[in-house]
Structure 1
Amino acid sequence: MPCLNEAETLATCIDKAQSFLARTGISGEVLIADNGSTDGSQAIATAHGARVVHADQRGYGAALSSGIAHARGRFVIMGDADDSYDFANLDLFVAALRNGADLVMGNRFAGGVAPGAMPWHHRYIGNPVLSFLGRLFFRTPIRDFHCGLRGFSRDAIRNLNLRTTGMEFASEMVVKATLSRLDVREVPTTLKKDGRSRPPHLRSFRDGWRHLRFLLLFSPRWLFLYPGVALVWIGLVVGSQLVRGPVTIGSVTFDVHTLIVAALCVIMGVQSIAFAIIGRRFASRYGFIPRSGTYDRLLEWLTLERILLIAILLMLSGISAMVWGLTQWAQRDFGPLTSHATLRAVILAMTALVTGFQLMMSGFMSSMINIPIYERRVADTDPVDRQRRHSDLPNA
């Protein structure tokens, strides 16, 4: 149980958990991960038979990470120490864990939410929206993404290398477990109004944004790739019609001004797709997101040389079109460009130039990620040098 000034409810939670262990005959312990309490929570926990560990770094995720690191059991069940969860009835969690589950999430909406236990905007807006996005982005079966009562295999979760320190830790656990193809299940649980007289640590909009930000950052496909593909598709479809001349639909005529918008869609879309590739390469290389065979093959094909070749071809075509446009402008004594044919050529030229330049810079940025993150001196790996240094040592 993570704990920050929970003197009002901590004893009740510990006693319920102890009663569950006694009733089921499970060999276990109650561990309190204290996050700097100043209300005597540590003494209360010790007096009621719990073991207290201290989390030096502040934050919900930091406290849980510290507790998981110090836990001794094969299975861990975590839950808030505010007496909102029923620690006396954890049978479904234990049964699922013993049946092979790696992560068992509680579902408060399936088990029952007592009146006043959850603010209306959490129950009908925040939790459903974030849970829906989590299922959409990561194809997880979990329908209550932010239930604080959950059980898991200690070793399986420690191997996920969880990093966040705040409330988004709850989302990170589910996301990484799903991406790592762990056995993730859900069981019904209940939620009642907490027993604290003070306001909760949770801040709705701040912590809701942190959860949403985490979901987006861990899904380059939805943050960058899909919007980028949509923008490129719109730009190419619209641009391919307008490059031949104006298009009239009803009483509205679309001409070069709309072609400029289409060109901007292509430019922004290509940059967004490049961000998706760079983000995926960075996240996979440094362990934020598990590797994917499909993405790895794509990234192996997208070498710097291939990207530069495509970029150079685009820029050369753009330069050629610009030269033609300048020639047409010169024939008009560099006066106003009233010819829409010339304007179309200039728009296409600028689109090709900017897109090529973007690809070239993105290629170099992506390649920088492949630079080894450690330094290795040649002398450290030279067997001749090692033998020479070894021979200079005095005989023992």
Structure 2
Amino acid sequence: MLMSDSPLVSVVMPCLNEEETVGLCVEMALKTLKKAKIDGEVVICDNGSIDNSIKLAQKAGARVVLEKRKGYGSAYLRGIKEAKGEIIVIGDSDGTYDFSEIPSLLKKFGEGYDLVLGARLSGRIEKGAMPFLNRFFGTPVLNFFLKIFYGLSLSDSQSGMRIFSKKTFEKLKLKTLGMEFASEMLIRAAQNGLKIGETPISYKKRIAPSKLSRFRDAWRHFRFMLLFAPTYLFLIPGSFFMIVGVLGLLALSRGPLWLFGRFLDFHSMILASLLTLVGYQVIMLGIYAKVFSWVCGFTGGELIISAVLKYFRLEKGIGVGLGVAFMGAAVGAIAFIHWAQTGFGSLSAIRPAILSMTLFVLGIQIIFSSFFLSILGLERRQ
């Protein structure tokens, strides 16, 4: 790639007290760009270093920008925003990534990919560079869930060395400020239908002590994946609970029955009632999550959101809730009359009582869920 026909490349690195390695990383990146005759720059986004990181980075030839907001994502958001290049290469300044491999990333990127990751697991990992659990459990598990939730088939989704265009970055509209930034980039890329590729890279042992918390950061990535996939976290389990619960209520409302060699009576009907109510609540949490994500700009208008906006109105929700609650009250009134006719002795109409309470509570839930859903969507409706 010659200087005359290449876009400007910006190598962006976050930095927090990396005086032992930041200068070496900057020098390596600049040397690589010069050797490949690539018109480029190195941008260091310092995230509050109290050592000599800034001076050493500047001395090595980097342009340093400052970001007061703490966080991995904060540093990248500011650094990439300040970058002048049309093509962005990102990587940590802790000495773990080999910036002499930038040309291989550019080569893969030039094959038509929107985003290319440097795959450590398919490259060469220096002894002691990656903890055993990260390499053989943490990263593969996160890869698996990215594939299940978002259809991404990647060998190293947690790699911090990546390349993409400035236009792609602006299109993704990334928002997270912490370690979730890496996962958000992939999720948003998948949601936008971008072409993602990988190329093998080497991974070196870190010189200074790591600032990462293995389990906390892994959980933050997984949590973010779940929050972006409310269908799997809420809607599918909630629908299962509610379907089983409603079928159980209908089957047992007329009397006990035998099923798979088991005698099911009103005790099972109580469980069915619980599943119905829990299922509805979990489903609504999923809808809340989708609407909230849309309101905050994390996702676009999905089918569920479109349906909510098209058909849902607060007045309709209140009407449905009142109707269901009234049905519950009516069934309860019948059970109460029957109980009164027996002199308020032992309650024999247990099944109607269970059905009555279930419908009444469900109706109340629908009413207040409607209010909350209306509040969530109020800002975007305006």
TM-score by length of 2: 0.91
Superposed CA RMSD: 2.0
- Of 18, 37, 50, which residue of structure 2 is paired with 1:6? 18
TM-superposition CA deviations, 1:169-192 (whole Å, max 9, x none): 111111112112222222222222
Structure-1 residue corresponding to 2:350: 343
In the alignment, is residue 180 of structure 1 matched against residue 192 of structure 2? yes
In the alignment, is residue 82 of structure 1 matched against residue 89 of structure 2? no
Partner SS state of residue 263, structure 2: strand
In the alignment, is residue 140 of structure 1 matched against residue 152 of structure 2? yes
In the TM superposition, residue 286 of structure 1 has moved relative to its aligned partner by: 2.6
TM-superposition CA deviations, 1:281-303 (whole Å, max 9, x none): 22113311122256413541233
TM-superposition CA deviations, 1:335-361 (whole Å, max 9, x none): 222x2xx11111111111111111111
- Of 64, 80, 85, which residue of structure 2 is paired with 1:52? 64
| Change in 2 beyond 3 A, CA 1:226/1:75 | same
In the alignment, is residue 355 of structure 1 matched against residue 362 of structure 2? yes
In the TM superposition, residue 125 of structure 1 has moved relative to its aligned partner by: 2.1
Find the aligned partners of 1:110 and 1:233 in 2 and give their Cα distance.
44
In the alignment, is residue 330 of structure 1 matched against residue 337 of structure 2? no
* Contact persistence 1:274–1:359 (CA under 8 A): no
Q: Which amino acid aligns with 1:38?
A: I
In the alignment, is residue 36 of structure 1 matched against residue 48 of structure 2? yes
In the alignment, is residue 302 of structure 1 matched against residue 309 of structure 2? no
| Change in 2 beyond 3 A, CA 1:205/1:73 | same
Find the aligned partners of 2:256 and 2:126 in 1 and give their Cα distance.
62
In the TM superposition, residue 249 of structure 1 has moved relative to its aligned partner by: 5.0
Find the aligned partners of 1:142 and 1:261 in 2 and give their Cα distance.
42
TM-superposition CA deviations, 1:209-233 (whole Å, max 9, x none): 2212211222221221111111112
Q: Which amino acid aligns with 1:56?
A: K
| Change in 2 beyond 3 A, CA 1:94/1:274 | same
- Report percent identity of matched pairs: 38
TM-superposition CA deviations, 1:17-61 (whole Å, max 9, x none): 122202221111111111111220111111111111111111111
Partner SS state of residue 263, structure 1: helix
Gaps of at least 5 residues in structure 2 are 1-12
Partner SS state of residue 89, structure 2: strand
> Aligned runs of 1:258-337 on 2, under 5 Å?
258-293=268-303, 295-337=305-347
* Contact persistence 2:295–2:380 (CA under 8 A): no
TM-superposition CA deviations, 1:121-142 (whole Å, max 9, x none): 2122222222211221222233
Q: Which amino acid aligns with 2:79?
A: G
Count of matched residue pairs: 370
| Change in 2 beyond 3 A, CA 1:267/1:87 | same
Q: Which amino acid aligns with 1:181?
A: G
Find the aligned partners of 1:249 and 1:287 in 2 and give their Cα distance.
48
Structure-2 residue corresponding to 1:244: 254
Higher strand share: 2
Q: Which amino acid aligns with 2:140?
A: P
Structure-2 residue corresponding to 1:388: none
Find the aligned partners of 1:259 and 1:147 in 2 and give their Cα distance.
50
In the TM superposition, residue 110 of structure 1 has moved relative to its aligned partner by: 1.7
| Change in 2 beyond 3 A, CA 1:187/1:298 | farther
Structure-2 residue corresponding to 1:99: 111
Q: Which amino acid aligns with 1:219?
A: A
Structure-2 residue corresponding to 1:131: 143
